[in-house]
Amino acid sequence: MSSGPRLASKRRTRTWGTDFALALSPQRDACIYPNVASTTEFNLSETAAVLSRTPAALDALLRGLPDTWVRRSEGNDTWSAFDIVGHLANLERTDWMARLRRILQDGEARPFERVDRFAQLKESQGKSLAQLLDDFARLRRENLAELQALNLQPDDFTRRGQHPALGVVTLAQLLATWAAHDLTHLHQLSRVMAYQYRDAVGPWSVFLGVLQCDGHSAPP
Amino acid sequence: MSSGPRLASKRRTRTWGTDFALALSPQRDACIYPNVASTTEFNLSETAAVLSRTPAALDALLRGLPDTWVRRSEGNDTWSAFDIVGHLANLERTDWMARLRRILQDGEARPFERVDRFAQLKESQGKSLAQLLDDFARLRRENLAELQALNLQPDDFTRRGQHPALGVVTLAQLLATWAAHDLTHLHQLSRVMAYQYRDAVGPWSVFLGVLQCDGHSAPP
């Protein structure tokens, strides 16, 4: 689906639309944001700025890397870089925009579907990392185009939905979590990769914070 | 300097040179590495594969982002994304290749210079993030070209140097640490960025591992 019934105002401010378009263009300069939100406050164009960059960042980091970095995990039942990219692609398909539409259509009346954190283990079978990176980039691009088309306004951000485990959440919290979820998996990815050199670095390991991290990821 | 006196063999194996060149090309496919080193074992071409990708990954992630993501830190005396990129650029100038040359020229006889972890706070003054990203990419490219020209062979990897705090280290450990250091700062960067949305995500914070990370970076 592309939009579905919208209950909130559809007024469009030219500035807001321009901000969003600029956020999707990595070429823009930071100085177009003279009045950024105060720390930890949600801002749609800032959120979109992160969301639009993650696929290219992962692509630049991972495409073509040898299997040591891509296919190895931290041991039993932990994820490799390959698994992480598959997970990100899977949630683009099943989670973020589906939950956003649910909030817009049903509010708190109908809880979100639960996320299958292991779907990618099956879904990625037979695919290459390059295919997963392509999938993720395409799905993210499509989702951001749909998000932009929704033309959300500030009073939409307080609309509420029902998370199956967390209870009431707002649309702004969902969007902020979408961006922070990219960052939590970038955090995990850098740790999983560094883990492959945990012995190779010798005595330097005491100085490398990433090797002291025992991981703290949990379901989104 | 470009090479300096070399004590080890200078024999060149065509395969090794080819591997290194391929490692520097992000377009190559992972399948050219049928016999990757076992976990946590140092491998020059695998190390170069990470080192060559970090500047583009940081560029894709950060260039043009609003100041919320780039200039904010985790509070007093912690680093922003801007500071982290400045630090990476600074160490390209002052640390990794200087230490490698020191090992080749002086072995354990002359300890490495100490690193100034705060040099970038002064060095980055008046620069934009875009300039720091450009600096880092150029310096890394130059360093990898110099590394490739040294044509290191497996028996060079056990050559020893003297770290001012850690004592004896090997050339392989230095190179492995160079790559792991990129990853430790990618780990830090994702945490610093996520921190800016620590409240915006609302109840989802319990599921976002990066928000549970209390940081563990220490001097390189």
Distance from B142 to chain A by nearest Cα, in Å? 19
Q: Select the residue of A30, A65, A66 nearest B64 (Cβ to Cβ).
A: A30
Distance from A129 to chain B by nearest Cα, in Å? 9
pLDDT in tens, B136-191: 999 999 999 999 999 999 999 999 999 999 999 999 999 999 999 999 999 999 99
pLDDT in tens, B72-127: 999 988 999 999 999 999 999 999 999 999 999 999 999 999 988 888 788 888 99
B111 and B163 Cβ atoms separated by less than 8 Å: yes
| Interface predicted TM-score of the whole assembly (ipTM), two decimals | 0.84
Q: Torsions phi, psi of B79, nearest 5?
A: -100, 145
Which one, of B69, B96, B90, lies nearest residue B174 by Cα? B96
Percent of chain B at pLDDT > 90 equals 71
Q: How many C-beta neighbours within 10 Å does residue B137 have?
A: 17
Residue B2 has pLDDT above 80, yes or no: no
Contact residues on chain B for A207, CB-CB shorter than 8 A:
166, 218-220
Residue B4 has pLDDT above 60, yes or no: no
Give alpha helix (H) positions in chain B: 14-23, 44-62, 67-70, 81-94, 96-106, 119-123, 129-150, 171-195, 209-212
Which one, of B23, B16, B1, lies nearest residue B157 by Cα? B16
Strand B160-163 to strand A167-170: parallel, antiparallel, or no bridges (unpaired)? unpaired
Q: How much is the pLDDT for A15? A: 37
Q: How much is the pLDDT for B117? A: 80
Residue with tokens 């009045």: A35
Q: Which two tokens stand for residue A47?
A: 């959120």
Burial class (CB in 10 A: 0-12, 13-18, 19+), A96: buried
Name which of B62, B80, B183 to mutate to probe chain A: the one with the most chain A Cβ atoms within 10 A of its Cβ.
Answer: B183
Q: pTM of the full predicted structure?
A: 0.84
With an 8 Å Cβ cutoff, are A64 and B187 in contact?
A: no
A103 and A171 Cβ atoms separated by less than 8 Å: yes
Contact residues on chain B for A183, CB-CB shorter than 8 A:
190-191, 193-194, 210
Q: Select the residue of A39, A49, A198 nearest B40 (Cβ to Cβ).
A: A198
Q: How much is the pLDDT for B139? A: 98
Contact residues on chain B for A65, CB-CB shorter than 8 A:
30, 49-50, 53
Q: Select the residue of A177, A197, A203 nearest B166 (Cβ to Cβ).
A: A203
With an 8 Å Cβ cutoff, are B29 and A65 in contact?
A: no
Distance from B157 to chain A by nearest Cα, in Å? 11
Name which of A35, A65, A79, A188 to mutate to probe chain B: the one with the most chain B Cβ atoms within 10 A of its Cβ.
Answer: A65
Name which of A59, A197, A211, A213 to mutate to probe chain B: the one with the most chain B Cβ atoms within 10 A of its Cβ.
Answer: A197
Residue of B nearest to A38 (CA): B68
With an 8 Å Cβ cutoff, are B188 and A209 in contact?
A: yes
Q: How much is the pLDDT for A19? A: 58
Q: What is the mean pLDDT for each group of 10 consecutive residues in chain A (220 residues)?
A: 35 42 47 40 94 98 96 93 97 97 98 88 91 98 98 95 97 98 96 96 94 68
Residue of A nearest to B41 (CA): A200
